[in-house]
Amino acid sequence: MKTWAIAGVLLVASAGVYAQQLAAGAGTGAAPASASASTAVERKNWFNDPFFAVSRDIAGCPVPLGPLMTKAQMDDDAHYRVERGTTCWLAHECSKPNSYLYDAPIADAIRAHFDAQHAFAGTSLWITIQRRFVYVEGCAPKAFDQAELHRQLEAIPDVEQIFIRITDDPHGGAGKPLPYKTLAAPD
């Protein structure tokens, strides 16, 4: 029996189930849970980082891991995250006391900027935002203009860095690994 997690909570029975349900539009950071799986690994978006799909046009494109992590990974990252978040303010480079406080408004601005555009037609792309860094991960044809995407994201207020990790081969053919982590291979 499957149930849905709430507010970014994720209990994964298998990467295949998660990818199938996300591809069907069933989630936006929350994922299905299965009580019957003995190999289930609990992953959550512990820090509520923005993570959303902007397109889903390429069948079989692996869903990025995004901000999902285990409790142990969260515990390891917590102190470092607080330190990284306040460095911006302490250096007088941010008006907010923590750089992660910019993430939700950046996500809203990205959604608003690309809402009426067809910039992502023919792609499957996800956005993750963490401490003013924007990560674009997924699949796009070779002709996709990554430089233009970079320029448009760069124009969003408060974005500090942009990382574009896109493949034109969602199956990682010819021994070529994907340029981003997926739920199936998170570590």
Whether residues 31 and 116 fall in one domain: no
pLDDT of residue 171: 82
pLDDT of residue 186: 54
Whether residues 4 and 78 fall in one domain: no
In a domain, 159, yes or no: yes
In a domain, 11, yes or no: yes
- CB count, 10 Å around CB of 31? 27
Whether residues 32 and 55 fall in one domain: no
pLDDT of residue 39: 55
What averages of pLDDT result for each successive group of 10 residues across the chain (187 residues)? 36 35 40 45 93 93 95 92 88 90 97 83 95 97 95 96 95 82 73
pLDDT of residue 8: 39
Whether residues 53 and 36 fall in one domain: no
In the 8-state DSSP scheme, what is residue 186? -
Domain that holds residue 69: 49-175
Whether residues 27 and 74 fall in one domain: no
In a domain, 180, yes or no: no
Whether residues 128 and 153 fall in one domain: yes
Whether residues 101 and 157 fall in one domain: yes
Cα–Cα distance list, 81 to 15, 162, 168, 175 (Å)? 27, 18, 32, 34
In a domain, 181, yes or no: no
The two beta strands, 32-34 and 41-44, are unpaired
If we measure between CA atoms, which residue out of 150, 160, 162 comes closest to residue 119? Answer: 150
pLDDT of residue 4: 32
Whether residues 146 and 84 fall in one domain: yes
Whether residues 25 and 60 fall in one domain: no
Whether residues 18 and 67 fall in one domain: no
Q: Which residue has the tokens 């909570």?
A: 9
Q: Is the pTM of this model over 0.85?
A: no
In a domain, 183, yes or no: no
The C-alpha atoms of residue 68 and residue 144 are separated, in whole angstroms, by 27
The C-alpha atoms of residue 174 and residue 172 are separated, in whole angstroms, by 7
Whether residues 67 and 143 fall in one domain: yes
Find the helix or strand (DSSP H, E) in which 109 lies: helix 103-115
Q: How many separate domains does the chain show?
A: 2
Whether residues 12 and 53 fall in one domain: no
In a domain, 12, yes or no: yes
Contacts of 155 (CB under 8 A, 6+ apart): none
